[in-house]
Amino acid sequence: MRPLIGVTVSRRSGWRIFPLMALSIWLGGGRATRWQAGDDDVDLDSVDGVVIGGGDDIAPALYGGELRLDVRLDPDRDTLEQEVLRGAFDRRLPVLGICRGSQMLNVVLGGTLHQDAYRVYQSRHYRTVLPRKRVEIGEDTLLARSARARCLYVNALHSQAVDALGEGLRVAARDDGGMIQAIERSSDPFALGVQWHPEHLFYRRAHRRIFHSLVAAAKARQADAAQVAAAEREAAAATGPL
């Protein structure tokens, strides 16, 4: 059976983003279910992996930033995704964070964000769903193994970016101005955050491979759980009735 991946999306834009997520996950060998703030059916025990999707800025109170009036916030979604990520960590579910999702992965693990990253870095400011920005991927990283590449051309729709890294995370990619473009957990279980939107780039093999790697990690977790269940059944059968 294809692993089931829970995908968080915005209530405002999820209707158009989720189909792209579902397609990318399907092409990677999985199937997707949609979660958004206000849903009653967010069940982490029913899924094999998690995608935290893109969308509005994260509330600055979560990482010690300054409240600004020129940004759109979604406190209910912030709460949902914090709970989903912490539950995923507890269950050792593989996690992929996309744009805002990468930032939320960092914040939940104690990291901080640049609220206006383009004032900090000399990175060229793209705002496009087309793959125009070049990012350099670190050697011997999960991202390099997943995409099978050392550089990628990506899209860019963000204004914020990762600043101080959260616990257990490392930088996996930067753009030509030094801005962090991907982060990842330095040990198992699988956790990867990318600042771009690979779901818009499903027609490019390297970006499809990111979803394939998430699904592969979910399948491995499925297999481990099946082995544990089989061992428990065998142990119960061997013990027999008292």
Residues annotated catalytic, as ranges = 99, 197, 199
Q: DSSP character for 43?
A: -
Residue 233: count other Cβ atoms within 10 Å of its Cβ: 10
Q: Please tell me whether residue 35 adopts helix, strand or coil conformation.
A: strand
Residue 110: count other Cβ atoms within 10 Å of its Cβ: 13
Triad 191, 194, 200: Cα angle to 5°: 120
3-class SS shares of the chain: helix, strand, coil, % to 5: 40, 25, 40
Q: Is cis: bond before 131, omega within 30 of 0?
A: no
Longest C-alpha distance within the chain, in Å? 72
Rounded to 5 degrees, what are φ and ψ at 193? -125, 130
Under 8 Å between Cβ of 99 and 195: yes
